[in-house]
């Protein structure tokens, strides 16, 4: 019986245990496609799962990792054949189903998306859930007619994974991008991705009198927010008439202290972005758009490659906001 290496999280009375284990195919979960995992990545949610900072896992023991890319080894589905390059984001990985921090995975075919050219498996994980979520947010802005001529778009947490891809995609599409970051030393990096203006995170993250109210001076036509809490409230308060704010994260908090004023006086839309359970048609659309709207050189410039064995040490770093751009994890 084939064996493979995996990171496994087990539950203990004192919390959880994270360790490497040698597993067999019998340890894999149900599915009609078996994939040789070549690459994974680390997202904010992965950091929460590995550190136990939030109840991400719903069963134990479980292999973490909400993303993977790799090559199909065997398939009982007509949609995939051995040798196909595939990517998986979400669908309960690292929650109820074994995830991508392993050399092998078995999953339902419905969860998989063929990696579109020109992306490689490594490129797919340079994008990962973070970049795929950024594209879903851009699609939401477009669906609500936030076009480049309507005004700039704010991106919060701009130096992180979601933010970096969002800045690069929006810039290529012709938007003026206002990048918000708590790391002023990253201004050069953000401008290299296409940001036209950099603002300090503190302008939005505090409930200060000048911005901490439900309506403030209109500054942007749309926004992509990864923070929630005061940041999201202040982003909404400064959105232009008929604008849209795509909310996809909670790095600052899950609370949202605002009022109906922006929605009924300015016609602002708050669009929630869920990447975990998004239907396959939307996933394929997002990946197809990434292939055309994300500059490959910029993607690679925002990415670093690390061996999977380093992911446990990276978990607290990403939660502390000290990881720039995207991290590709080489699994084998």
**DSSP, residue by residue, 180-201:** EES-GGGHHHHHHHT-SEEEET
129-272 belongs to which CATH class?
alpha beta
Which residue intervals of the chain bear CATH 3.90.180.10?
3-115+302-330
pTM exceeds 0.85 for this model: yes
In tens, the pLDDT along 206-226 reads 985 545 578 999 999 999 999
Q: What is the pLDDT of residue 2?
A: 84
Asked if residues 112 and 49 have their Cβ atoms less than 8 Å apart, the reply is no
Distance CA 160, CA 44 (A): 9
Residue-wise burial string across 98-127, b where 16 or more C-beta atoms lie within 10 A, e elsewhere: bbbbbbbbbbebebbbebbeebebbbbbbb
Domain with CATH 3.40.50.720 in the chain: 129-272
307, containing H or E segment: strand 303-307
Give per-residue pLDDT as tens, 276-313.
999 999 999 999 999 999 999 999 999 999 999 999 99
Architecture (CATH level 2) of domain 3-115+302-330: Alpha-Beta Complex (3.90)
Overall average pLDDT of the 172-191 stretch: 98
Which among 214, 301, 302, 312 has a CA at the least distance from the CA of 263? 214
Dihedral sign computed on CA atoms, order 310, 313, 317, 322: negative
**How far, in Å, CA of 101 to CA of 281, rounded?**
26
Specify the pLDDT at position 209: 55
pLDDT over 60 (residue 17):
yes
pLDDT, tens only, 227-283: 999 999 999 999 999 999 999 999 999 999 999 999 999 999 999 999 999 999 999
Token pair 């087990």 in the structure block, residue: 10
């Amino acid at each position: 019986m084939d064996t493979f290496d995996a990171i496994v999280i087990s539950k203990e009375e004192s919390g959880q245990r994270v360790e490497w284990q040698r597993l067999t195919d019998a340890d894999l979960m149900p599915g009609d496609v078996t994939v040789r995992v070549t690459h994974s990545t680390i997202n904010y949610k992965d950091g929460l799962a590995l550190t136990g900072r939030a109840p991400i896992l719903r069963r134990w023991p479980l292999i973490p990792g909400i993303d993977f890319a790799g090559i199909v080894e065997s398939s009982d589905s007509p949609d995939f054949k051995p040798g196909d390059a595939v990517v998986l984001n979400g669908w309960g990985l690292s929650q109820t189903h074994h995830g991508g921090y392993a050399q092998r995975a078995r999953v339902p075919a419905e969860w998989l998306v063929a990696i579109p050219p020109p992306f490689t498996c490594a490129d797919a994980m340079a994008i990962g859930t973070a970049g795929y979520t950024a594209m879903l947010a851009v699609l939401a802005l477009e669906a609500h007619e936030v076009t480049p001529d309507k005004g700039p778009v704010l991106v919060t947490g701009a130096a992180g994974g979601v933010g970096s891809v969002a800045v690069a995609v929006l810039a290529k599409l012709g938007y003026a991008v206002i990048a918000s970051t708590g790391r002023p030393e990253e201004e050069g990096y953000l401008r290299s991705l296409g940001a036209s203006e950099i603002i300090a995170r503190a302008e939005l993250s505090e409930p200060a009198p000048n911005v901490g109210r439900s309506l403030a001076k209109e500054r942007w036509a749309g926004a992509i927010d990864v923070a929630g809490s005061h940041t999201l409230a202040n982003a909404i308060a400064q959105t232009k008439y008929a604008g849209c704010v795509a909310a996809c994260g909670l790095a600052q908090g899950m609370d949202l202290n605002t009022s109906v004023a922006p929605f009924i006086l300015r016609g602002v839309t708050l669009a929630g972005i869920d990447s975990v359970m998004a239907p396959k048609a939307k996933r394929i659309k997002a990946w197809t758009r990434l292939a055309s709207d994300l500059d490959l050189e910029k993607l690679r410039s925002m990415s670093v490659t690390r061996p999977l064995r380093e992911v446990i040490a990276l978990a607290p770093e990403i939660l502390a906001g000290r990881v720039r751009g995207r991290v590709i994890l080489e699994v084998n």
